[in-house]
Structure 1
Amino acid sequence: MKLRLHFVVDPMGWLCISIVFGIWLYNTFFIPKLVLLPHYNEGHIPWVTVVCYYISSALCIAALFRASTADPGRLPVDPHIPHSEREHWELCNKCNLMRPKRSHHCSRCGHCVRRMDHHCPWINNCVGEDNHWLFLQLCFYAQVLSLFTLVLDFCQYYYFQPLTGLDQEKFTTRHELALLRVSALMGVVMFGGMTSLFYTQMTGILSDTTTIEKMAQFSNEVYGSKRSWQWALAEVCGTRWKLLWLIPLRSRQPLQASHHFRTHV
């Protein structure tokens, strides 16, 4: 699968993703400027901490970009339906096009998406078969970056030694009481929201049930299946190599079923 860009024309979605990008930019700029780099220059923290923060920040923005611009699994106008799979296709009553079962029509995007989980305004895109793994990565790296930010904000108040090369009165009134407190507030909100969303997504993946199916009260007897967590995540991410599950800058290929991988935990 090629890395095709997919953009949704939705002003509300643009506003939501701009807010997410603004929060990322705020913490990526101010935390190194006020905490990481000054304390590193004075020898209070090791260089590994600075590198890890920038790596988590880079992975977070890469996952956001990929999740918002990747094709979620949009169905073509005239899809090729193999004769052996015709019984697994159905007619969409909104766009009058044939689609595989478990596909859904997104009223915001105006087309059907294969195995659509939900439409997320915060990435201005649907979450479907082809970009679900990217959305999962975004939730994970947003948790990591938010937690990292909260720890650094806490250490700035209660653990790190005072900076000798800085006007403490000016720093306290203009930075600690404003910028870092705003950063901590955003970190709490993002970490709490992303943790809840990540847990919901993982339970859906492991039970083989999408968010739309949960809302429609479909039971596991209809669509769910007994399978190992390894196979469930490998199927979503498109690879059995666990290290690649964490890398957003790659393409996804549909995974062929393996009986051994399904049953072995």
Structure 2
Amino acid sequence: MGQRFHFVVDPQGWCCMGLIIFVWLYNTIFIPKVILFPHYEEGNISVVAVLCYYFCSLFCIASLFRASVADPGKLPANPKIPITEREYWELCNKCNMMRPKRSHHCSRCGHCVRRMDHHCPWINNCVGEDNHWLFLQLCFYTQILSSYTLILDFCHYYYFLPLKKENWDVFVFRHELALLRISAFMGLIILGGISRLFYSQLMGIFTYKKMSNCCETCKSRPQKPWQQTFSEVFGTHWKILWFIPFRQRQPLRIPYHFASRV
């Protein structure tokens, strides 16, 4: 599950995703060229700062591409419904297919998605059961990369020592201030927007956890801890793997006393 390639033909989504890639590419090229490499050569910053920036950039773009092409949880044309599970399925009034509860029909993709959260044009894909964890990683690493970029922009002018030699690239040297102002502007816009989105995603997960604990059928069961809820989203109990986009998610076997049919 979640290992199939999923591609949505949507020009609007292509434009939105292309804009995100442009911002990522801009900062990945110019920030090291204007700030990191010159200050590293003069001993103002360590190699760790350079490597951390590239690691954040790599994890950000990896989670973006994987979230955009991963199958969000598309239901097959003729799903096999076990007899014991039939009461938890319903008929979609748009595509006339049987689907489990908490599934929704996406008008852009043209099919139902298990535990669909929303259709995100910025990844040109739905956010569903099988790629929700990648979308959370994308929001997290985008915040880290944007914050790191803004800190470097600030330190370049107000904290780091002035460079002793000019940048070898004439274009970068002449337009350094404009390049960094554009970087700071894009960083502020993206950080503000993605922070709000990430907060809403976390609140959505905690709200579902609270509803699962408060439903009448679950009153006799022990309350589900937040670690269990996030483990179900990310497909693993190993918390360190929650931050790694280079893996395949497997559905987590939920203990019987935590199982929820809602």
Q: TM-score, normalised by structure 1?
A: 0.89
Residue number in structure 1 paired with 2:63: 63
| Paired residue type of 1:198 | F
Q: In the alignment, which residue of structure 2 is the partner of 1:179? A: 179
Q: 1:21 to 1:224 in 2, by over 3 A?
A: farther
| Corresponding residue number in structure 2 for 1:161 | 161
Q: Does 1:247 find its partner at 2:244?
A: yes
Partners of 2:133 and 2:234 within 8 A in 1: yes
| Aligned AA (2:230) | L
- The 5 Å alignment of 1:1-265 reads 1=1, 3-166=3-166, 173-176=174-177, 178-208=178-208, 221=215, 226-258=223-255
| Partner amino acid, structure 1, of 2:34 | L
Partner Cα separation in structure 1 for residue 164 and residue 216 of structure 2: 65
Secondary structure of the corresponding residue to residue 75 of structure 1:
coil
- Please tell me the residue identity of whatever aligns with 1:258: P
1:194-242 Cα shifts (integer Å, max 9, x gaps): 1111111011112217xxxxxxxxxx75999952110111000000000
Equivalent in the alignment of 1:216: none
Deviation string 1:121-149 (CA, Å, 9 cap, x unpaired) is 00000000000000000000000000000
Structure 1 position 2, deviation (Å): 6.4
* SS of equivalent to 1:105: strand
- Give the fraction of aligned pairs with identical amino acids, expressed as a percent: 62
Q: Secondary structure at the match of 1:207?
A: helix
**Matches of 2:181 and 2:205, distance apart in 1:** 36
Residue 251 of structure 1 aligns to which amino acid in structure 2? Q
| RMSD across aligned positions (CA) | 2.4
Aligned residues: 252
Query: Aligned to 1:208, what secondary structure does the other structure show?
Result: helix
Q: TM-score, normalised by structure 2?
A: 0.90
Preserved contact between residue 208 and residue 224 of structure 1 (Cα < 8 Å) = no
* AA of the residue aligned to 2:175: R
After superposition, the Cα gap between the structure-2 partners of 1:98 and 1:261, relative to the gap in structure 1 and judged at 3 Å, is closer
SS of residue paired to 2:90:
strand
Q: Could you tell me whether the CA contact under 8 Å between 1:73 and 1:129 is conserved in 2?
A: yes
1:116/1:224 CA distance change after superposition, 3 Å: farther
